[in-house]
Chains A and B, each alone.
Chain A
Amino acid sequence: MAEVTLLETRGLCRQFDALKAVDEVDFRLREGEIRAIIGPNGAGKSTFVSLLSGRIPPSAGQVIFAGQDVSRLPAHRRVRLGIAYTFQITNIYPSLTVLENIEIAAQSRLKPHLFGGAGEAEIRAAATEAAEAVGLGARLASVAGALAYGHQRLLEVAMGLALKPRLLILDEPTQGLSDGEIANFIEVVRRVNREATVLVIEHNMDVVLALADRITVLERGRLLAEGTPEEITANAAVQAAYLGEPA
């Protein structure tokens, strides 16, 4: 089977004053895989995915998505091309209901412009479907801010799903979840992966090993290693930089 590259970075850099948060990273993501990005705190993981999603502009280098150079596109345009991003800190519309939250995402895909596009019924149906896919189907009318934390994280993912992205970026999605919630979350991500490529930043190695097809390790803004879970756990440099230290 031919490997299709979905996303690629070339010499990607981001500097904050003297600090090189992301330093000359060449990165390639295959369509359909689940890729985990790991690395010690301050390794530049969040900055790296922010560069991919366009939340912050790069100091140098390129981001190429599905063959198109998106380095200069603002974040909202990249979302429309199929790069969805869920935040590290829960970032929802707390005073709106679950359904209303997801409808905003569904509208972005189904009715991208003010005139034309899908009607309200279609938007509502798509939002309901995304809610059911993460197991929030029974809570459509709940106010999002009143949900338990684990459910708010699932709502985040449902909003990402409603965009039907080609690439879903998850920034530390299991942080603060209980073991039971994590198990459910892993199932949700696997289901998402049937339709989308997944890039996940994760600290919890159990989650990483359960999900990832391949793992990329960042350290001090640089790409330290990349490989299958077996290769990474056996890699001496990775163990020295990351696995040997308490997270």
Chain B
Amino acid sequence: MIHNGRLFALILATIAVLFALQFALSDYLVLAATRILIMAVFAMGYNMLMGYAGLLSLGHAMFFGAGLYAAGLSSYYWGSSLPVSFLIGILASAAFSFVIGLLALRTTGVSFMIVTLMFAQAAYLATLYFSRITGGDQGLTLPTDARSFSLLGHQMDMTSDPVRFNLALAIFALVLVFMFFVTQGPLGRLFAAVRENEPRTRMLGFDTYRVRLAAFTISGTVSGLAGALYGLVFGYIGSAFAGFHYSIEALLFTLVGGPGTLLGPLLGTTVMTMLIDRLSGLTTAYLMIVGVILILVNRWFPKGILGTIRERALPWLK
């Protein structure tokens, strides 16, 4: 049964519009859109924890990095095919986020932010420390035979822009529909319950630690899936992707688009990526302007773009 029919229709319409974009946009913009779609998947993973379950993590780059490295290294060293490497990336980030969640969820609030940040920094430093394997700062470029795979008899070429765009879109669409069913169903109800009032939820008979662990693991796994996709589609893995910068990007994209809205991360990622792209052409101090915009957004629209629209006009936009 589909609960929130209007939201589901909007999701399908969004996917259709995104598909049509490739016939309207220049090659450069199609490439930019590919990157935006993958980063939006990352932000959607982040949003699951921050927007729906109300836990602010400062370390989600570790999950993006876990997926990126597990997928990339298995392809690089074992020569596993891209779909297999992708699967390894997802499974590894699921296991990793489950274990980190077990530990980090013993804290809440500011302590939780600090603990996730510390784990992420340790993971980032590990990618540098083991640079003989990971390539460290320099990173690793995946070999030519890891740049294509066959799907139902078709050769999928990871150097072709349209193939990359459609692959990213297909996975984005799958994750978005998955997110819809998780957030709009019984599990999503429990996420909202622990976000809004954790003690009350416990007194209604729920083990709230487990509810949060479920949110954390799904969140980390989706973020890792985005990392695996990024590494395999663009054929490069490096430490920078596990750095603090990426944790903050997931947070910013979610905040701007609207935490706790399904399409917020896509909107936030698009707006911020385009903005940075334009601004960096005008001035090298573009991050200062981005900072000012973020302060303004936070001051007047703390619920982000879609969150504000939901509050004023469309309560079903969740």
Interface positions, chain B 156-213, Cβ under 8 Å from A, are: 185-187, 189-190, 192-193, 196-197, 199-208
Could you tell me if A76 and B200 are in contact, using CB atoms closer than 8 angstroms? no
Tell me whether B106 is interfacial, beta carbon within 8 Å. no
CB distance from B306 to the nearest CB of A (A): 16
CB distance from B204 to the nearest CB of A (A): 5
In the complex, A104 Cα to B201 Cα: how many Å? Answer: 8
Listed in ascending order, the chain B residues whose CB lies under 8 Å from chain A are 1, 3, 185-187, 189-190, 192-193, 196-197, 199-208, 214
Give me the 6 closest cross-chain CB pairs, A-B, nearest first: A79-B205, A108-B205, A93-B196, A80-B205, A104-B193, A108-B204
Interface-centre pick from B186, B208, B214 (highest chain A CB count, 10 A): B186
Interface-centre pick from B185, B193, B204 (highest chain A CB count, 10 A): B204
Instruction: Please count the residue pairs between chain A and chain B whose beta carbons lie under 8 angstroms apart in the complex.
Output: 67
Q: Which of chain A's residues has its CB closest to B201's CB? A: A104
| Given known A-B contacts A100-B189, A105-B204, A114-B214, A91 and B196 have beta carbons under 8 A apart | no
Interface positions, chain A 72-126, Cβ under 8 Å from B, are: 74-77, 79-80, 85, 87, 91-96, 100, 103-105, 107-109, 111-112, 114, 119-121, 123
In the complex, A74 Cα to B210 Cα: how many Å? Answer: 14
28 contacts between A and B (CB under 8 A): A53-B203, A55-B203, A75-B202, A75-B203, A76-B205, A76-B206, A76-B207, A76-B208, A79-B203, A79-B204, A79-B205, A80-B205, A85-B203, A91-B197, A92-B197, A92-B200, A93-B193, A94-B197, A100-B192, A104-B189, A104-B204, A107-B189, A107-B190, A108-B204, A108-B205, A114-B187, A119-B1, A120-B1
By a CB distance below 8 angstroms, the chain B residues around A85 are: 203
By a CB distance below 8 angstroms, the chain A residues around B197 are: 91-94
Listed in ascending order, the chain A residues whose CB lies under 8 Å from chain B are 53, 55, 74-77, 79-80, 85, 87, 91-96, 100, 103-105, 107-109, 111-112, 114, 119-121, 123, 159, 163
In the complex, A85 Cα to B200 Cα: how many Å? Answer: 10
Q: Which of chain B's residues has its CB closest to A165's CB? A: B205
In the complex, A55 Cα to B263 Cα: how many Å? Answer: 38
CB distance from A103 to the nearest CB of B (A): 6
| Given known A-B contacts A93-B197, A96-B192, A120-B1, A111 and B204 have beta carbons under 8 A apart | no
By a CB distance below 8 angstroms, the chain A residues around B204 are: 76, 79, 104-105, 108, 159, 163
In the complex, A80 Cα to B204 Cα: how many Å? Answer: 8
CB distance from A21 to the nearest CB of B (A): 20
